[in-house]
Structure 1
Amino acid sequence: MMKTRHLLGLATLAALAGSAAVAQRATGPLTQIARFDHQVTGVAVAADGRRFVNFPRWTDDAPISVAEVLPNGSLRPYPDAKWNAWRNARANELPVGEHFVCVQSIVPDKQGNLWVLDPGAPGNEKILPGAPKLVKIDLKTNKVSKVIPVPETVALQGTYLNDIRFSPDGRIGYITDSGTRGAIIVVDLESGRSWRTLDGHSSTQVDKTVTVTLDGKPLRRPDGRQPMFAADGIAISNNGKTLYYQALTGKTLYAIDTALLAQDVEEQKRAAAVRVVTQTHVADGLWMSKAGVLYLTSPTDYSIKRLNGSAVETVLTDRRLRWPDTFAEGPDGRIYVTASHIQDTQWFTPGAPPSIRTELFSFAPVQ
């Protein structure tokens, strides 16, 4: 019976793989690449131009966690249907270490791999034991080549592994913890060791003076709570020496030398070395382009912005960017961004269906 249910689950998954609608449609500087039937967050573009997206299990038990977006706009479970077979309803049947549970982001390194960051916390709530992990997929073979568990001493209850950036040599990963404590988690990708840095430091925390607004009104849950996410957006300089990060519920962009995030550095020394880059706005995703331009999403005014010295400039504004979330960059330098429609979810819109329509867009880089 278990085998039969598993095969039926994979068949259903394959049938749902066509749930994206192709839409190579440009309006002004923003081109819609695809539209999805579920909430999208992460996007990645490989060196050969292949595009990937991921769907977290926040309010919807998404039928696919990680997918390749095919040229016709349909979705193919990636790397295969088995890794995407986990469901909330089957939580006691499938091992969490061998399946995607609640994928938040997907990021390629410079060594030909796609890394999948799985916080292991469906609904952005309780972490399932053994579920937080990094999954390395070889883009040439389309096979999982390594799984790095993030232990409970690092992924504490209340942690939410949000986004990751890599050192240029592909040996170190830096992850933002946007959960209740806030931190930068560092992972040695060769040994699998991980450790918390700037844990509880003011730079990684929610700024309680900030109110997230949309159309001039505070964004609130039905019980009055507003979004409260700690260290979220993250970017790394092209030489790998500087890490940038910001709390989503915040308006300050911070930076630290990556050398100070090594395991043997005293926390007091790290804390003293954190510097303010500039005052910004409520931002979700950050991206350092190959050209050295730091981009920031701006959900509250449907915009993409960039850093020019210490000034923050608007690149484009488009009402279709309902919560611009995460960036990626194509081999031609074109920038991709997801619209995750957080304000349209059941969290903030009572009576909304669990699944919502979301999009993937792209735009030409700023010259």
Structure 2
Amino acid sequence: MSLRTLLLSTAAWACFAAAPAVAQTQTGQARTDQALTDQAQTGKPQLEQVAEFPHQVTGVTVSEDNRIFVNFPRWTEDSPVSVAEVVDGEIRPYPNETWNMWRNARKAEFAPESHFICVQSVVADKRGSLFVLDPAAPAQAKIVLGGPKLVQIDLKTNGVVKRWSFDQTIAPQGSYLNDVRLSPDGKTAYITDSGLVGAIVVVDLESGKARRLLAGHPSTQVEPNVQVKADGKVLRQPDGRGVEFSADGIALSKDGDWLYWQAIKGRTLYRVDTASLRNESLSSEELGQKVQAQGVNGVADGLLITDDGRMIVTAPEGNALFVRETLDKEPVEWIADDRLRWPDTLSEASDGAIYVTTSRIQDMSFFKPDAPIALPTQLWRIPARQQ
């Protein structure tokens, strides 16, 4: 999710601490068996905790061979790791320590195009690669010039194989590239921008050409009459500002023909056919006319279309996950649990298990001044046999 209105003061940056990059893994066959037992007794999906992190997590993805990757954006702290693989209870900087060496206090020492700055999303393409989306805007403040990028990492060699950098025509100041989906043929990337002016960015991965589309279109903007709540109250900063996140959650149909998205400060799900997004002959007006409202999700962050065609929707206002059994149906509550403090990003493993991060945005120091700068967060798993 974007935090573009939540800008940090210089004093806040001075308080950043680099906590140890260690996850407390709590998985295991016994925990999974217990979750399945609980499911059998209650008839409802059960959460099992995979890991707890010392930093605020957003993205999670699981590769085709069940490797787990997460990312930590630099929102309220200068996190010592941006992208990590979770292995045996530890966070291992990925693909290596060098890519994770950029720090706010030492930024002049590292080239922004070849180091992670403020990573928001990680996505395994199920074709042997991990894609890392870096909006390069620590604390949702000024973008580090040369920093916005999409990075492809080969999961066999653990080496960076390609990088697409975005200039200010694609990622202008005030933007925040948020989440990404890859076409089934591996030729196109679709990215939401949840910044000041919401948009969809389409990247031709072969030519490297990127296009910023639907910027300012109602479907990519906040809905003015929506107020995001947490714990039953409108979520506001001490100065009264609320949550203002534009196009954020994104999902791609399994055949790659339809792209879905919505703003967090919004309730409506939208879609457009990807052929139109790739059609450079269409004017902005013509493309805008192709966009379709696809019903109401309510306030939502992460979206995921599963291999069996369902759409899972995170519902941060209710500490819950909703599901659309088919894409044309309205969402119904799937699982609600107080431990799902701002369910953020979703990923499906090869065995059908669903992974979800809880980024605890309502508990941040932006909204609760007494909260710790380094906010512990969690990764959860819902075993596939419960679905």
TM-score by length of 1: 0.94
1:361 partnered with 2:366: no
Q: CA deviation at 1:233?
A: 0.1
Matches of 1:315 and 1:124, distance apart in 2: 32
Q: Within 5 Å, which residues of 2 pair with 1:111-122?
A: 111-122=127-138
Indicate conservation of the 8 Å contact 1:110/1:168, yes or no: no
Matches of 2:205 and 2:370, distance apart in 1: 43
Matches of 2:166 and 2:253, distance apart in 1: 25
Partner residue in 1 for 2:181: 165
Partner residue in 2 for 1:304: 321
In the alignment, which of 330, 345, 353 is matched to residue 326 of structure 1? 345
Indicate conservation of the 8 Å contact 1:110/1:169, yes or no: no
Q: Which runs of 5+ in 1 are unaligned?
A: 1-11
Indicate conservation of the 8 Å contact 2:66/2:350, yes or no: yes
Secondary structure of the residue aligned to 1:57 is: coil
Partner residue in 1 for 2:232: 216
Indicate conservation of the 8 Å contact 2:227/2:242, yes or no: yes
Indicate conservation of the 8 Å contact 1:160/1:178, yes or no: yes
Q: CA deviation at 1:351?
A: 2.0
Matches of 1:271 and 1:98, distance apart in 2: 35
Secondary structure of the residue aligned to 2:345 is: strand
Secondary structure of the residue aligned to 1:22 is: coil
Secondary structure of the residue aligned to 1:261 is: helix
Matches of 2:351 and 2:127, distance apart in 1: 18
In the alignment, which of 17, 21, 25 is matched to residue 24 of structure 2? 21
Matches of 1:290 and 1:124, distance apart in 2: 33
1:288 partnered with 2:305: yes
Matches of 1:264 and 1:357, distance apart in 2: 47
TM-score by length of 2: 0.89
Matches of 1:282 and 1:352, distance apart in 2: 24
Matches of 2:370 and 2:321, distance apart in 1: 29
In the alignment, which of 275, 288, 311 is matched to residue 292 of structure 2? 275
Matches of 1:307 and 1:297, distance apart in 2: 11
Give the structure, 1 or 2, with the largest relative contact order (CA under 8 Å, sep 6 or more).
2
In the alignment, which of 124, 127, 132 is matched to residue 148 of structure 2? 132
Secondary structure of the residue aligned to 1:311 is: coil
Q: Within 5 Å, which residues of 2 pair with 1:1-367?
A: 16-17=20-21, 19-24=22-27, 25=31, 28=38, 29-70=46-87, 72-262=88-278, 263-308=280-325, 309-365=328-384, 367=387
Summarize the Cα distance change of 1:264–1:111 in structure 2 as closer, same or farther, 3 Å threshold.
farther
Summarize the Cα distance change of 1:315–1:364 in structure 2 as closer, same or farther, 3 Å threshold.
farther
Q: CA deviation at 1:258?
A: 0.4
Indicate conservation of the 8 Å contact 1:110/1:170, yes or no: no
Matches of 1:151 and 1:192, distance apart in 2: 12
- Pick the structure with more strand per residue: 1
User: What RMSD, in angstroms, separates the aligned Cα atoms of the two structures?
Assistant: 1.5
Q: CA deviation at 1:190?
A: 1.3
Matches of 1:363 and 1:151, distance apart in 2: 39
Matches of 1:251 and 1:239, distance apart in 2: 25
Indicate conservation of the 8 Å contact 1:174/1:184, yes or no: yes
Matches of 2:304 and 2:72, distance apart in 1: 20
Matches of 1:60 and 1:239, distance apart in 2: 39
Matches of 2:194 and 2:275, distance apart in 1: 22
Q: CA deviation at 1:310?
A: 2.3
How many pairs does the alignment contain? 353
Indicate conservation of the 8 Å contact 2:297/2:313, yes or no: no
Q: CA deviation at 1:214?
A: 1.5
Q: CA deviation at 1:353?
A: 1.7
Aligned-partner residue type, residue 209 of structure 1: N
Q: CA deviation at 1:216?
A: 1.6
- 1:318-363: per-residue Cα shift (whole Å, max 9, x none)? 1001000001111101110000010111111112221011000011
Secondary structure of the residue aligned to 2:181 is: strand
Matches of 2:339 and 2:193, distance apart in 1: 28
Matches of 1:264 and 1:353, distance apart in 2: 50
- 1:112-149: per-residue Cα shift (whole Å, max 9, x none)? 11000000000012111000000100001100001110
Identity value in percent:
51
Q: CA deviation at 1:264?
A: 3.1
Secondary structure of the residue aligned to 2:26 is: strand
Q: CA deviation at 1:110?
A: 3.2
Matches of 1:125 and 1:191, distance apart in 2: 30
Secondary structure of the residue aligned to 1:52 is: strand
Matches of 1:267 and 1:307, distance apart in 2: 30
Matches of 1:60 and 1:211, distance apart in 2: 27
- 1:21-67: per-residue Cα shift (whole Å, max 9, x none)? 01125665111100000000000101111101000001111011000
Q: CA deviation at 1:285?
A: 0.2
